[in-house]
Structures are given as C-alpha cells and as structure tokens.
Chains A and B, each alone.
Chain A
C-alpha cells in the first residue's frame, strides 16, 4: 500500500498552522509574487513568514512544499532562482516546479532538496514523466486531472517516481499549464504571472430581479439567476450564448469541484503516494473542514477500515461535485 500522504493548501501563515493542526502530512504554499500559480492579492508568504511557518510545521512533523510552479518569461528567470535559493535556505522539504529551466537550476544548485513536478507541467505519459525524472531527478509527479484510475495504475508501473493526485477542490480540465484564456481577456498570464481571472479585472453586478452577473475585463462570462448557485469568475466555467444554442450554455466546463472521497481506496490500490487538496485561495474554515475530513478518511483506510467521509458539498464550487475523469473519460 502507498503511504497516502495528505498534501494540504495554505495561502497564509494562519492557514498553514490550521492545516498542520488539522493533520496535514505536508502543506504547500508560495511567495507573494509571480513564482506561484496563486499569485492573488493579499495572499501568500513573505520570506520571514515562511521561515516561521517552516519552523512551526517541522516542529509538528509536517513537511512544507514550496510552489514555484509558474513559467518564467524568457530572460527573466532571476525571480524564480531567488525564490528557490530563499526556499532552500529556509529549509523547505521540496519544490513544486513546472518549468524545465527552474527544475534544472534547482537540480544543479540545490540537489539536496526534493523536486516535485507540478500539475502545471501537464506530464501525463510515462515518457514525459521519465524525462523529468532522468534529467532533473524529479521524485514525484502531480498528475493532470485527465486520467482514469486504470490509466494511473499503468503509468505507476512505468515510472521511477511517486505519484500525487488531486482529490478535492477546483476542477479545471484545460491542458494544465497551457491555458491562455485569462491572458486573452486581461493581458495577464495564468502561467507566467500566476493569476487566473485576476481580481482587479473581476466585477460582479447585482440586478433588480435578484440575478447577478460576473464580468472579467468588461466581458460578461455568466449571469446567475436569483436562486442559482454561483461559481468562480473564470472563463473556462463561463456560460455563453451561441448561434446554434437557444439558451446560454457552459461551453468548456461548469462550476463544479472535484471530490474523490469515494475513490480513495482505489487510488491507494493504484499506487498513488500522495493526495492533494486544492485551495490555497480559500479560507482557514475551508482548510480546517476539508483537511480534517480527509485526515479521518485516510486514517481509516490506512487502518483497514471503511472510510467515513464527511459531506463537503457546501464547500464546492456551484455546490456541485464530480469524480471527473478519475471515474470516466466521458466526463465533459
């Protein structure tokens, strides 16, 4: 059986302490800049905050993983190198990287620190994963959310590193690390600036009939009726009119979250080493609730008991959940 480590999100030092106290095996976080894919206003860590947080986590036996999972624009690698140097100095347990240049720098400069391949690298074949392992000594791959469990089981047999999969949270099925939708509307890049639907470009409008529209850079991407649940203002989950449709429709995805709580035993059996919870942009309340629920579930599985999973639908986007491609390739 794999270890089934629980990898938990932290957007602030207080959220990190919450995750540690709720039973995280490892917490992942990022600096307050473009080096990570949750470069949101008011979120993330200063170097001093990360130092204190690493000390707190290590004192409780929890690892800290530093997300450096964006792509430096050509010729502008210094920010990523400095972040790696700072992270190594502060004693983080692993870097989560997507860019080969960043991976190469860390492999050469800080060979004692583990490298994990971010989902943003979109490595979904044994050949791609082996390339990262052989060239940059990657120890773990975070798989894109496009594979079935049988496919994961087959990949596991053919790669020399650990597998981490998302089990809960945001569910976006773009080719991860390649999405340019935000860039198209706002000029900012999800993959290089670390911002998907930057808050500075988001506006919500309340209408007299109780409906609410969400806009990004002046474009309306959805309008929720008075009694409808809402989702994030991301283009991939927008609802659009089209000449061939009589009603607005979700062209790419719909507001929904991944929840694999019922598939945890199958994932363990398939050889998944670590379970990742998405949501560095979420509150301590979310971290406390989701981490506690999955801590209990993983402990049950480790002990050979049937996992008793708390109902987490209230925390899901649009208050809907799916097992996505993990259950069937027919998803979307």
Chain B
C-alpha cells in the first residue's frame, strides 16, 4: 500500500459514511418524537440521573450504520443519530447489539448479566451509566412498546418483526 492510499478515503469507507449519514437523516424525526414523549411520560427519570443530566452518552448499536447521542437534560433534550466518525466526545459509551440495548431500556434483560457475558460494553464515566440504568429501570411499562404505539399498527408491527429477528 502506498502512502497515498492512507490519506484518500476508500470507496467502501465512503459508501459506509454516506449510508450512515442517510440513515441518520431518516431516523432523526422518529428519535426526536420518541425522546420528547418519554420525557413527558416519565419525568421522574431525571431526578435519578442527578448531576449526569448534562452528560453526553454515546449509545452504539454495533450492527447499525450509526450511533445515538443522548444528553438527558430536561431543559434541552438531545437524542440524535450520528455517524460514528461524527459522534461527540462521549462522557460515557454503551455498546452492544441493538435489540439487547432495547431490551435493557425496557428491563427485559439484566444489564449486569449482559456485562458479565460481555455482550454489553461500557466505557467512560461508569457512574453516569449506572445512574442512567437505574433511572430507566424505575420506569414502569415498556418504552419500546410506547414508542411503537406512537406509530400505530405499523409501529407495533415493526417492533414485533424486530423481536422475531433478534431472538433473545
């Protein structure tokens, strides 16, 4: 490989980058609605986050073409899809398969068990992650179901299909 090859983006990288950015544009309106709805329905989440309401969490579903950036500040909520190479500097990063992350949000899976099995990876500020986990765990019901319900029968069908595609 010549020195020049290192400095020029390869076609495959370029394709991945374009796919990531396109995916972000497509899912962003959904994410915005979801986070606003969750914040409205579950305001008690924020008190358990304490000083980490302003922490930048990067949630990385490893098989998707993008990552998610969450800053759970009730005054200025951020939940957006970002290309991995454009993700902000993370206070904490949570990495795992998409469906595992979704099941953790809903407490259908145990975070410690997923950590023990190495299916879940945490780096950065561990206290921030523990607070986020405990805040989400105190939510009754299913955030995934609520989110799917926002989009009617089509949303519920997509969630059911996702669950079939990712048997736990």
Q: How far is the CA of A256 from the CA of B39 in the complex (A)?
A: 37
- As a 0/1 sequence over residues 139 to 164 of chain B, the CB contacts with chain A under 8 angstroms (1 = contact) are 11000000000000000000000000
- As a 0/1 sequence over residues 16 to 47 of chain A, the CB contacts with chain B under 8 angstroms (1 = contact) are 01000000000000000000000011110000
* Contact between A42 and B48, CB atoms less than 8 A apart: yes
CB-CB contacts below 8 Å: B107-121 with A: 107-113, 115-118, 121
* Contact between A14 and B123, CB atoms less than 8 A apart: no
* Contact between A286 and B118, CB atoms less than 8 A apart: no
Chain B min CB distance to A39 (Å): 12
B73 adjacent to chain A (CB < 8 Å): no
B130 adjacent to chain A (CB < 8 Å): yes
A230 adjacent to chain B (CB < 8 Å): yes
Chain A min CB distance to B113 (Å): 5
* Contact between B116 and A229, CB atoms less than 8 A apart: yes
* Contact between A41 and B131, CB atoms less than 8 A apart: yes
* Contact between B123 and A41, CB atoms less than 8 A apart: no
* Contact between A286 and B123, CB atoms less than 8 A apart: no
A317 adjacent to chain B (CB < 8 Å): yes
* Contact between A12 and B137, CB atoms less than 8 A apart: yes
Segment at the B interface, from A62-70, A71-79, A202-210: A202-210
- Closest residue of chain A to B49 (Cβ to Cβ) is A42
Partner of B123, one of A204, A228, A317, A319: A204
How many A residues touch B, CB cutoff 8 Å?
Answer: 40
**Which residues of chain B are near A255, meaning CB under 8 Å?**
116
* Contact between B126 and A202, CB atoms less than 8 A apart: yes
Partner of A285, one of B108, B118, B129: B108
A212 adjacent to chain B (CB < 8 Å): yes
User: Given the interface contacts A229-B116, A283-B107, A317-B116, does A14 sit within 8 Å of B133 by beta carbon?
Assistant: no
B88 adjacent to chain A (CB < 8 Å): no
- Closest residue of chain B to A316 (Cβ to Cβ) is B116
Q: How far is the CA of A41 from the CA of B49 in the complex (A)?
A: 8
User: Given the interface contacts A42-B135, A284-B137, does A315 sit within 8 Å of B110 by beta carbon?
Assistant: yes
User: Given the interface contacts A41-B131, A42-B50, A42-B133, does A314 sit within 8 Å of B113 by beta carbon?
Assistant: yes
- Closest residue of chain B to A14 (Cβ to Cβ) is B138
B122 adjacent to chain A (CB < 8 Å): yes
Partner of B110, one of A42, A206, A283, A318: A283
Chain A min CB distance to B55 (Å): 12
CB-CB contacts below 8 Å: B4-34 with A: none
Chain B min CB distance to A288 (Å): 8
Q: How far is the CA of A148 from the CA of B36 in the complex (A)?
A: 54
User: Given the interface contacts A14-B138, A42-B48, does A199 sit within 8 Å of B117 by beta carbon?
Assistant: no
A11 adjacent to chain B (CB < 8 Å): yes
Q: How far is the CA of A190 from the CA of B31 in the complex (A)?
A: 40
User: Given the interface contacts A285-B108, A286-B112, does A11 sit within 8 Å of B134 by beta carbon?
Assistant: yes
A105 adjacent to chain B (CB < 8 Å): no
A200 adjacent to chain B (CB < 8 Å): yes
* Contact between B130 and A199, CB atoms less than 8 A apart: yes
Chain A min CB distance to B70 (Å): 15
**Which residues of chain B are near A289, meaning CB under 8 Å?**
110
B residues with a Cβ closer than 8 A to A are: 48-50, 104, 107-113, 115-118, 121-123, 126-127, 129-135, 137-140
Closest 5 CB pairs of A and B: A42-B134, A42-B131, A12-B138, A199-B127, A284-B107
Can you name 20 A-B residue pairings with CB atoms under 8 Å? A11-B134, A12-B134, A12-B138, A14-B139, A41-B50, A42-B49, A42-B131, A42-B134, A198-B127, A199-B127, A199-B129, A202-B126, A204-B121, A206-B121, A229-B116, A230-B115, A281-B112, A282-B110, A314-B117, A319-B117
